[in-house]
Structure 1
């Protein structure tokens, strides 16, 4: 069980690093997006765009993690069912 958890954490870390961009690169991408929408740097609209872009990215990451854990739990329950183990309360 501990090995399985370690493997999961390692996989998550590797996936995160594979898609990694520096904070400066992310800010530049966000800035280009908001400027592309017509917001002038320093304006209230630009600040709101930057904030919403960041919040959407954060929510996407939370959604990905929730999906990952739901799939992991389903896989674990199926393995336990096939092994004839009694269901646990998750």
Structure 2
């Protein structure tokens, strides 16, 4: 999970295909990919566009094209503390 200084947390909930290609956290209640880092474009403001990047560890030998395709069927979770306040499908186009 990527933590932002204002109390927001971000994580990607992988679909089964993506989870099979990624390094996963051990001994957790939920399926969690191993976070390597993240970044954002600054403060998040209501009704303003911001950029957020999350980087996860890919298993050795995984097919990168498979990771790319599977990633788009996953869900971005926005959390306030430990509470999920929004779930955004990554394949959603606006």
Q: How does the TM-score come out when normalised to structure 1? A: 0.25
| Greater C-alpha radius of gyration | 1
Q: How does the TM-score come out when normalised to structure 2? A: 0.24
Flag the structure with higher strand content.
Answer: 2
Flag the structure with higher helix content.
Answer: 1
